[in-house]
Amino acid sequence: MCDFKFFSEIRDNMRMTSYKIFIKVPIHILFYSLIFIVLTFLSLKSAINKIYLLLLRFKFISLVFFKSPYVFKEKSIRKIKEIIKSINTKSKSKSKSSLHKIIFLFFSPLKNYSLGQFINFFFTKNNFSTSTKIDIILFCNSKDISIFDYMELMRIQRKNIGAIRLVIEESCTLLGSSQLISKCMELKCQIIPVRNFTSITLTSLISGFKSSHCLFLDSSYVPNKSFLYEFSKYINSNLIASIIYADEDAVFLGIPHSHYYKPDWCYDFFLSNNYLGSNVAFNMQILRKISKAQPLFKFFSIYDLIFRVLERSSFKNIGHITKVLFSRKSKVFKEIDLPFIETSAVVNNFFKRNHIDAKSRPLNFGHKIEYDLFNKEVLVSLLIPTKDRYSLISKCITSILNKTTYKNYEIIIIDNGTTDPDALNYLEELKSHQKIKILRDDSPFNFSYLNNQAVKLAKGKFIGLINNDIEVISPDWLTSLISIASQPGVGVVGPKLLYPNNTLQHAGTVVGIGVGDHAFKGSARHAKGYHNRASLISNYASITAACAILRKDLYMSVGGLDEENLKVAFNDVDLCLKLLELGYRNVYSPFVELYHHESVSRGYDDLGQKRKRLIKESNYMHKKWKKYILNDPCYNKNLSKTKTDFSLL
């Protein structure tokens, strides 16, 4: 019998555009496989007859993978299926030992059936047919003519689909065409002509739908051949999923470009822009609740609808398919269809409905989210370990005292054995400053221990982990970071850090590049980054402790920094992952900028004992946080594990 689990594993681990499979098989099997391939090119009918004879004579299993530019018609595939069924029947009548099936899988990224579709068609009982059906709403504006691509794929996979509705603008030239009418009749698709998409209500869209989920599709995208199968498969194993989205790219003249491998659910990044896209599946129970509560709610945009679904569901039930299932037809990738002034209004409406004291301001590449503190400045304790290096610590303290507009803060300097006379004199002078405390500790350098000791003296509701080689640029840096850190569900918040030469040093930390490395390191100061990740408020698995703000109670609840196993390196990554594990989200803000003279005071960990200690701490992190190192939820498994520019794996 055929091992469908084996095929399922192959399907899940293959990309649509590249196949590298190595199979160890006997020479005679390869010989007969080669004969079949040659005969296929000569005559499909002749090849089928000869395979029939070969299979009757030789009982073997052969698995052949190759790329073919030819499209095999359904009746030809049915013929192959009938022959193999006949062979199996004769084999069972002659012997109890069943004859293994021979399977030939044909691949072509552009024309052929995908692997899932082919096997789904080839076998009567298989793991690729899902019991879950999806209702579909396809939106087509006046300029789109690619709805037939969707319709053809829906025809092939019709058994995985419930009801289908085509929402089409009245100005579309396809409306009323015989081709469209015949296609819709074949698919039993209801046509809903509208003046524009803002004139239709959600109630009229989903009325009569019976499936568990409804998939909203945008005809300005070219669908991947397996998009329906992938959504059905995900829903089949995650029936409570409230929102499901997939990765995408753009295509021009048949050539894909501008891939967008998205992170898993990132609330703060979603506020900054609709990275989920316009091809999204929703849980029908939630849509019905929205429709019942607001029967006259007009469908404005997918972005708006996602927010309304979020208000009635858990963030944990948002699903992400990490495969490119849709390609926008465009020379240049566009993030969303609507102007950002309109999508910014959608965010502000969300804030208003949920009584969130925040504003969304439109940018030319997304939204700037600003939270209001209402002049309630809670006490913040800034912790700064230091040793010697007068020029660094003096510049750090001076920039904080002179530039920071936030008034209610204290500075706790942890002096870890300073001997430099200039530095000692400077620290002595600071003792008289009302905002500054000096904690002397001459023990061997242990970044985690020093900060944990300082936290015990801290009186602030929030603490700030600050390196002594930090220099303030943005006067409102502390106000902005505290406003974000005050929001429910937020763990650690960090800013954009720059090298002295004005290139990026930190725009969030990606876990899994090594243990963790800073996103877009070395890029230009105002670089937008991969789909604006460096230029919009976003979520990352980790934030560097060179400058990090969080609530003191959160810090204490996870045991602070690990002073036993992570004395110097990766303690900030560990802290962030402990909070991430508890359901908190870590946030990066590009609208706060500081200079970071990285590792100037302590040096790099690349020689002698420092290197041994670094390797030990690295091994500890790989063992403790293996799941996040293998799959950072704020990154994407299809992106590089060696580069910080979000290039392809």
Q: What is the domain partition of the chain in residue ranges?
A: 4-122, 134-349, 380-630
Query: Are residues 644 and 518 in contact, defined by beta-carbon separation less than 8 angstroms?
Result: yes
Q: Compute the distance between CA of residue 89 and CA of residue 168 in angstroms, rounded to an integer.
A: 50
Mean pLDDT over 55-81 rounds to: 42
In tens, the pLDDT along 417-448 reads 999 999 999 999 999 999 999 999 999 999 99
In tens, the pLDDT along 315-346 reads 999 999 999 999 988 755 444 445 688 899 99
Residue 220 is predicted with a pLDDT of 85
Residue 546 is predicted with a pLDDT of 97
Query: Is 602's pLDDT higher than 50?
Result: no
Adjacent-strand bridge partners of 202? none
Token reading at 598: 């990285």
Q: How far is CA 27 from the centre of its chain?
A: 44
Residue 156 is predicted with a pLDDT of 83
Name the E strands within 208-279.
Answer: 213-218, 221-223, 243-252, 255-260
Is residue 17 very low, low, confident or very high in pLDDT (cuts 50, 70, 90)? very low
Q: Is 649 helix (H, G, I), strand (E, B) or coil?
A: coil
Rank 143-152, 372-381, 583-592 by mean pLDDT and report only the highest. 583-592
Architecture of domain 380-630: Alpha-Beta Complex (3.90)
Q: Compute the distance between CA of residue 558 and CA of residue 556 in angstroms, rounded to an integer.
A: 6
Ranges 251-265, 351-365, 435-449, 545-559: which has the least confidence: 251-265
Query: Is 572's pLDDT higher than 90?
Result: yes
Burial of 597 (0-12, 13-18, 19+ CB in 10 A): buried
Is residue 375 very low, low, confident or very high in pLDDT (cuts 50, 70, 90)? confident
Query: Are residues 551 and 461 in contact, defined by beta-carbon separation less than 8 angstroms?
Result: yes
- Phi then psi dihedrals of residue 422, to 5 deg: -65, -40
| CATH topology match: 134-349 vs 380-630 | yes
Closest CA to 104 of 62, 163, 146, 148: 62
Biggest distance spanned by C-alpha atoms of the chain: 100
Match domain 134-349 to its CATH number in 3.20.20.110, 3.30.420.40, 3.90.550.10, 3.30.559.10: 3.90.550.10
Query: Is 15's pLDDT higher than 70?
Result: no
In tens, the pLDDT along 487-522 reads 999 999 999 999 999 999 999 999 999 999 999 999
